[in-house]
Chain A
Amino acid sequence: MPRLILIGGLLYLLLMAGLGSLNAGMLSLALPLAAYLLLGFWSSPESSHLTAERHLSAERITPDGEVQVTLRVTNHGPAVESVLIKDTLPGFLEVSEGAASQLVSLKRGETLEWEYTLRGRRGFHVFSHLDVTISDQFGIFSQTHRLPTPGQLLVLPVVPRLWQVKIRPRVTRIYSGTIPARTGGAGLEYFGTREYQPGDSPRWINWRAMARHEHMIYSNEFEQERVADIGIILDGRRRVNEFPGGQSLFEYSVLAAASLSSTFLSTGNHVGLLIFSQYVKWVMPGYGKFQAEKIMQALARAEIGDSLALSGLEIPSRLLPPHSQLVVVSPLIPEDVENLVKIRRSGYPLIVISPDPISYEERISGGGLAVETAARTLRLRRALTIRQLRHIGIQVVDWDVTQPFEQVAQHGLGRVPAHLQSLGRGGRL
């Protein structure tokens, strides 16, 4: 349309100026423009009779995977000289092979089929339409149409494999698993010693205790291992995740949440996910591979939002009963302490995985004396925040995102801290 406006406007201007000034030469200058317009009009398309189809080789890929997009456009009307077809892609997807746009001419009944390959970062995209511009050879008389071509693509987050994550919630479920249940019974770890009961295996008899007490037989008791209710809370607030220049820590938080949920589910636990961003979004707790898929899909779609404080965060007890394990993945700001303390006081044991925003921002800011001084001050505040949380029994893993999450998680979550180990242990003689 701008080409038509330009040529038409200049033609109109010359004709009006020529008529106004009674200048024949000026009128003659309009001839090439008029001829150009008319020649374009000769081959201008009347209306679009195009239809399109889309086929994706996969609707769900990992970040290192690729998907092949096949597009088929058919012209059911008269021949069109110039058809510009563009497939609009979101920022997180990129074309690795081929092209997402095409310029062709289509005869009546002709079908164009072309393929291109996509890869991308974590995200979810709904392909709704193709933008098609049909025009004459000179591109003067053009029409733009949207051809519906539904499709969707989910790029799942990266899931680093963790060796083990040791947690000790106060309450576990009845099914056997890997979480110490604070209850004596069949298990692997020594839990306590009690009087022998009929049915106890002779191998459980504690011979040393029996030797010290005449006429008494004692058996060792082991700690039962069961599955637990675990809630993972992903903090997607813009104010804590986003930094100048469009840089964001959120991808790291998503990676940590994906890794933890995958590890917990693989050991049979009952895991739910809460994404706290623009709105609070729950993935109801569940078991197994189906739940893992639901959580991965939710994480693939997760985006940062404009919620301000964690104060709006309520944990429904029907989803996660009190004393279930909660894992909060958040860069943390000092104002969050109060809300985390509130959650801890309502009975939930809490682990906080905190990607370090200060090191991250310092690195992207490029250094300098002012940046270093500011970073030092902020680090002190962060250390104080983390100390406050640890003081009330919240386990905090401070994660400098230059380190691989597996390594940090192994170090921080590979064993239960000493002050939490003693809680609820069985009696010892």
Chain B
Amino acid sequence: MNSLFLISFPVAFSLVSLAAGGLASSNPLMAAAVFLPAGVWVFSLRRHWEPGMGIGLALVVVLAGLGMWTRMPVWAAYGAVLAGLLGWDIYGLQVRAGYAVDDDARWAFVRRHLVRLGLWLAASLGLGAFSLLGHVRFSFNQAFLLIVLILAGIGLMVSWLRKRGKSTSV
């Protein structure tokens, strides 16, 4: 029940965010298209069909991308992608944690995953907040350069963390 809520909440948030973005951009077709990933997700959750969750996520991302093209507010599209990815990830976590036999092992796995997920959420929200709340307006070239820098920065950080992890892993 709890895991269903944990999955349903971000999934619903993602759909509502996408629909609200569609309405805010006076694009009712986009708002109506939300029913497509909604249907796929509901079907997948009811039938425990794992690939369906991925299909739902892909639909949300594609709709958010199209929304950005039709002047949907960035917060709505960004929120939809973020929440959709979160829901998809928690569903995968639920499936994989089901293989753990021992309760302690399961909770340790879930805890470690949630910490990692929190880290990712904080980073993504930080980047989102930076672009939204700071009212930063970039030209395309500036935005592209910034994204390349961000990706390179995260990549360098990750490779440094991996090296550090290898030398300290016991």
Which residues 55-78 in B have Cβ within 8 Å of A in the complex? Answer: 57-58, 61-62, 64-65, 68-69, 74, 77-78
Is A43 positioned at the interface, with any CB of B under 8 Å from its CB? yes
Is A165 positioned at the interface, with any CB of B under 8 Å from its CB? no
Is A58 positioned at the interface, with any CB of B under 8 Å from its CB? no
Q: Do B151 and A34 touch (CB < 8 A)?
A: yes
Is B11 positioned at the interface, with any CB of A under 8 Å from its CB? no
What residues on B are CB-neighbors of A18 within 8 Å? 144
Is B99 positioned at the interface, with any CB of A under 8 Å from its CB? yes
What residues on B are CB-neighbors of A33 within 8 Å? 61, 81, 85
What residues on A are CB-neighbors of B58 within 8 Å? 6, 9-10
Q: Do B116 and A137 touch (CB < 8 A)?
A: yes
Which of A95-103, A198-206, A230-238, A275-283 touches B? A95-103
Is B127 positioned at the interface, with any CB of A under 8 Å from its CB? yes
Q: Do B169 and A78 touch (CB < 8 A)?
A: yes
A9 to B58, CA, bound (A): 9
Q: Nearest chain-A residue to B106 (Cβ)?
A: A103
Nearest chain B CB to A294's CB is how many angstroms away?
A: 38
Q: Do B143 and A27 touch (CB < 8 A)?
A: yes
Given A98-B101, A101-B99, A32:B77 Cβ within 8 A: no
Q: Nearest chain-A residue to B153 (Cβ)?
A: A38
Is A28 positioned at the interface, with any CB of B under 8 Å from its CB? yes
A136 to B52, CA, bound (A): 22
Is B36 positioned at the interface, with any CB of A under 8 Å from its CB? no
Q: Do A39 and B120 touch (CB < 8 A)?
A: yes
A99 to B169, CA, bound (A): 29
Q: Do A10 and B61 touch (CB < 8 A)?
A: yes
Q: Do B78 and A29 touch (CB < 8 A)?
A: yes
Interface string of B129-170 (1 = CB under 8 A from A): 001000000111001100100110011001001100110011
The number of residues on chain B lying at the interface, defined by a beta carbon within 8 Å of a beta carbon of chain A, is 54
Q: Do B140 and A22 touch (CB < 8 A)?
A: yes
Q: Do B57 and A39 touch (CB < 8 A)?
A: no
Is A139 positioned at the interface, with any CB of B under 8 Å from its CB? yes
A24 to B68, CA, bound (A): 9
Q: Do A39 and B119 touch (CB < 8 A)?
A: yes
Interface centre among A19, A22, A32, A103 (most CB of B within 10 A): A32
What residues on A are CB-neighbors of B51 within 8 Å? 2
What residues on A are CB-neighbors of B158 within 8 Å? 38-39, 41-42
Is B123 positioned at the interface, with any CB of A under 8 Å from its CB? yes
- Pick the contact of A102: B100, B116, B124, B128 (CB < 8 A): B100
Which of B2-10, B38-46, B89-97 touches A? B89-97
Nearest chain B CB to A291's CB is how many angstroms away?
A: 43
Nearest chain A CB to B110's CB is how many angstroms away?
A: 10
Is A346 positioned at the interface, with any CB of B under 8 Å from its CB? no
A101 to B97, CA, bound (A): 11
Interface string of A17-61 (1 = CB under 8 A from B): 111011111111111111110110111001000000000000000
Is B32 positioned at the interface, with any CB of A under 8 Å from its CB? no
Q: Do A104 and B100 touch (CB < 8 A)?
A: yes
Is B112 positioned at the interface, with any CB of A under 8 Å from its CB? yes
Q: Do A29 and B109 touch (CB < 8 A)?
A: no
Q: Do A105 and B127 touch (CB < 8 A)?
A: no
Is B54 positioned at the interface, with any CB of A under 8 Å from its CB? yes
A105 to B51, CA, bound (A): 25
Is B82 positioned at the interface, with any CB of A under 8 Å from its CB? yes
Nearest chain A CB to B53's CB is how many angstroms away?
A: 10
Q: Do B65 and A42 touch (CB < 8 A)?
A: no
A109 to B170, CA, bound (A): 8
- Pick the contact of B85: A22, A27, A32 (CB < 8 A): A32
Q: Nearest chain-B residue to A77 (Cβ)?
A: B169
Is A92 positioned at the interface, with any CB of B under 8 Å from its CB? no
What residues on B are CB-neighbors of A101 within 8 Å? 99, 101
Q: Do B68 and A104 touch (CB < 8 A)?
A: no
Interface centre among A26, A33, A109 (most CB of B within 10 A): A26
Is B113 positioned at the interface, with any CB of A under 8 Å from its CB? yes
Is A217 positioned at the interface, with any CB of B under 8 Å from its CB? no
Q: Do A35 and B124 touch (CB < 8 A)?
A: yes
Is A175 positioned at the interface, with any CB of B under 8 Å from its CB? no
Q: Do B112 and A105 touch (CB < 8 A)?
A: yes
Q: Nearest chain-B residue to A5 (Cβ)?
A: B54
Nearest chain A CB to B60's CB is how many angstroms away?
A: 10
A18 to B155, CA, bound (A): 21
Q: Do B54 and A23 touch (CB < 8 A)?
A: no
Is A371 positioned at the interface, with any CB of B under 8 Å from its CB? no
What residues on A are CB-neighbors of B109 within 8 Å? 82, 103-105
Q: Do B131 and A35 touch (CB < 8 A)?
A: no
Interface centre among B54, B61, B64, B119 (most CB of A within 10 A): B61
Is A352 positioned at the interface, with any CB of B under 8 Å from its CB? no
Binding site for B on A (CB under 8 A): 2-3, 6, 9-10, 13-14, 17-19, 21-36, 38-39, 41-43, 46, 78-79, 81-82, 84, 86, 98-99, 101-105, 107-109, 114, 137-139
CB-defined A-B contacts under 8 Å, sample of 26: A2-B54, A9-B58, A10-B58, A21-B69, A27-B147, A28-B78, A28-B127, A28-B131, A29-B68, A29-B77, A31-B127, A31-B150, A32-B81, A34-B154, A35-B127, A35-B154, A36-B120, A41-B158, A43-B165, A79-B169, A103-B109, A104-B100, A108-B170, A137-B116, A138-B89, A139-B92
Given contacts A13-B61, A17-B65, A21-B69, 11 further A-B contacts (CB under 8 A): A9-B58, A28-B143, A31-B124, A35-B120, A42-B158, A78-B165, A102-B99, A102-B105, A103-B100, A103-B106, A104-B105
